[in-house]
Chain A
């Protein structure tokens, strides 16, 4: 009887948790959200999901097609996965790796003990790293902050190709003081909210950063646990009032981003890729336009939408996880490569 009472109490407690509106995703249970609902899904209070509109103000939209492109464009480059040896593997005396070249230059410049190549191999390279771990975050940031190296340079008798120069500048953006992104990063935890970043937050973000400020921004385009940071430089958004509901507008947004998948590591320029996001925005019509109170990803975008977004910082302190690599020496190498 005692065991029965205990079991009953446990079941009763579990039921009350699952029935709560505060936590739509209770442990061990997936709550199906009705995507034909008339209202936006309820979000947990105080969770930070409203951070964009809290900082930038209310989202107001109007019907029509709108396109904006950033004033400066990012550049494509390889993303240097952690399981690759590209940065430090020498192919021969006349085919040195990027970091071996860096060490030679640094020693000739007075840094007698520069050991970036060995440091990379011993401390940062991991043969068994997860497939998605690499420098995509550093590259995305470098591509919107730094000028693109477009030609080889010869410094102190060492030829640095575009591949070398891009790798070096990217490495100097791998450890920065950059803080703050909008949208909670999905770490695969039981209480992560897959729908975040919510579409109304995403829409307000690019409305301010790209349409108003003409600045590129960074997104993690994988809503799951993996992080795939890319720089976005163009957005086209199509907004139409829903013919059946006056509290809703339907949106189709196209984004263009620079791809980190280039066949030739000496690639110069941008390889643009387009993604489509479909969502509803909920709210009410006012004299200024449609004032948005929430949003919901639709169709394929329920699965495929950004995880979080980051604004381009005005300034940043550069650094590298490779302690032997110094940004000021990299800058000396880069001179003349633009």
Chain B
């Protein structure tokens, strides 16, 4: 079994608005994945890993996973209305003890739309072929992924595969009768 690069570098990038994870790793096809330091050493001193030549077919894998929400089918909320009619009588001759009488009149409810939300998970994984020269210029692979993949995906969501998780948030509950 050939000697493999055994260390795996995983970097996570969290964004506060939506849960988003980005990971990157540097792999040499057929040999496995390792951290950037090991790869730089392999590029400058291949003999250190018992190879005659620096590695070729170096792939940087950039993987992004995102959890988010999308508008679902809206529902409605109904609130009952109550109408009160008050009547009383007064006179300028003598005091007449009259109270007021309230009459309650039921009337139609007020109905309002309320949004519902469906949770989604999206992912994309890109592979970039790089050279030893490019590896030597890198401080970390996350920056490479940000520069090459993140901007693309943010400009074009269709590059990600998005599927519903099945989880929903119903904002129609409480205070009325929610329907959806």
With beta carbons under 8 angstroms apart, the residue of A83, A271, A274 that contacts B126 is A274
* B158 interface residue per 8 A CB criterion: yes
Contact B57 A272 (CB under 8 A): no
B1 within 8 A of A: yes
B125 touches A132 (CB 8 A): no
B29 and A226: CB pair below 8 A? Answer: yes
Q: Is the CB of B158 within 8 A of A131?
A: no
Q: How many residues of B are in contact with the other chain, CB < 8 A?
A: 21
Whether A272 pairs with B125 at a CB distance below 8 angstroms is: yes
Interface residues of B in 98-151 (CB under 8 A from A): 124-129, 131
Measured in the bound complex, the distance between the Cα atoms of B31 and A300 in whole Å is: 23
Inter-chain contacts of A254 with B (CB < 8 A): 159
In the bound complex, residues from chain A placing their C-beta under 8 Å from that of B56 are: 224, 226
Contact of B159 with A81 in the complex, beta carbons under 8 Å: no
Chain A binding surface SS class:
loop
Which one of B2, B29, B159 lies within 8 Å of A274 (CB-CB)? B159
Binary contact readout A262-282 vs B (1 if CB under 8 angstroms, 0 otherwise):
000000000111111000000
**Number of residues on chain A facing chain B (CB within 8 A):** 26
**B161 an interface residue at 8 Å Cβ cutoff?**
yes
Complex contact B1–A236 (CB within 8 A) = no
Q: Considering residues A67, A228, A272, A304, which has the most beta carbons from chain B within 10 angstroms of its beta carbon? A: A304
A134 CA to B126 CA in the complex, in Å? 23
- Shortest distance in angstroms between A111's beta carbon and chain B's nearest beta carbon? 31
- Find out whether the CB atom of B57 lies under 8 angstroms from the CB atom of A273: no
B98 smallest CB distance to A (angstroms): 79
The answer to the question of B30 belonging to the interface, with a C-beta cut-off of 8 Å to chain A, is yes
Q: Which of A127, A131, A275, A303 contacts B127 (CB 8 A)?
A: A275
Contacts of B61 in A (CB 8 A): 273
Given A226-B56, A236-B159, A274-B159: A304 and B129 interface contact (C-beta under 8 Å): yes
In the assembled complex, A84 has its CB within 8 A of some CB on chain B: yes
Please tell me if A147 contacts chain B, counting CB pairs below 8 Å.
Answer: no
Given known A127-B1, A131-B30, A236-B158, contact A226–B126 (CB-CB < 8 A): no
Task: Give complex CA distance A274, B127 in Å.
Answer: 6
A228 to B127, CA, bound (A): 13
> Which residues of chain B are within 8 angstroms of A303 by Cβ–Cβ distance?
129, 131
A304 adjacent to B128 (CB under 8 Å): yes
**Closest chain B residue, CB of each to CB of A127:** B1
Given that A224-B57, A228-B57, A254-B159 are contacting pairs, would A131 and B2 also be in contact in the complex, using a CB cutoff of 8 Å?
yes
Closest-CB distance, A104 to chain B (whole angstroms):
26
Which residues does chain A contribute within 8 Å of B125, judged by CB atoms? 259, 271-274
**Complexed CA–CA distance, A254 and B161 (Å):** 14
Q: Across chains A and B, which 7 residue pairs bring their CB atoms closest together, nearest first?
A: A131-B30, A304-B129, A132-B30, A274-B126, A273-B127, A273-B125, A226-B57
Q: List 11 A-B contacts (CB under 8 A).
A: A83-B1, A222-B57, A224-B56, A226-B57, A272-B125, A273-B126, A275-B126, A275-B128, A303-B129, A303-B131, A304-B128
A-B contacts besides A300-B128, A304-B128, 19 pairs, CB < 8 Å: A67-B158, A81-B30, A127-B1, A131-B2, A224-B56, A226-B56, A228-B29, A236-B158, A271-B125, A272-B161, A273-B61, A273-B125, A273-B126, A273-B127, A274-B124, A274-B126, A274-B159, A300-B129, A303-B129
